[in-house]
Structure 1
Amino acid sequence: MSAFNLQQGIGKIGANVWVLPLCNGKERLKDEKGKKVHSTQKSIELLKRVILTSTNEGDLILDPIAGTGRTGYVAKALKRNFVMIEINPKYVEWIKKRFEKPLKIIDKPQVNERKIQQYLNLGNKP
């Protein structure tokens, strides 16, 4: 993806509506009891889109409220540098666990376009 360069008239302007899968199922971190570790985990696809549209390889990303460390995880997979800040020791432990696993970024989002169109009531009815 490239940003629009107004002076040169090149590139493209991104849409103002992003259709992305939610963070659920296997993507959501859960504890030993099966409960979600953090209530506001972001989907990999959302973070991937934000990082790819706003940074280049080697850039530095700051996540001042790291939570479970997903932003840093995605940043590392996309060859960005990152600094994460988290004050909750429980989340810091989850961040450590996350980075022990191999990096895996989903190439294609699992999105049911038909259901999203129905929900948003946009375009033609299915």
Structure 2
Amino acid sequence: MADLKHKGVTDGIIGAFYHVYNALGYGFLEKVYENALSHELKLRGFMVAVQEPITVWYKDVAVGEYFADLLVNRCVIVELKSGVGLSTAHEAQLINYLKATGMEVGLLLNFGPKPQVKRKVFTQPPEISAKVPRESA
């Protein structure tokens, strides 16, 4: 089996997700899970940006902006949900975030009645790009 890109980071995120899910269960607003997961990841030594603004560019024109729920170690986008289940629209949203940023790995995590995890990888060259602010030294 081929090595998964950013496997150490995604494994850590998934472990933290289940830790938070087991502690809080189902029924809170997405923001509660976002705050708890961000805190848990930081406790585990990950660098976490919450609601990271990302400007989407098309042919040198800013055409939109979105906010990634979590950006972990500047290499994995995490999209959180707290609904009954995940849909193809949720998966498409994450794939579009990966396309727009040029990042390759994302996780879709649902704090629903049953916890759900989907790992998405996008490796085709994007026709659009985004500018993700870099950490200042």
**TM-score normalised by L of structure 2:** 0.29
Instruction: Determine which structure has the larger strand proportion and give its number.
Output: 2
Q: Which has the higher contact order (CA 8 A, sep 6+)?
A: 2
**TM-score normalised by L of structure 1:** 0.30
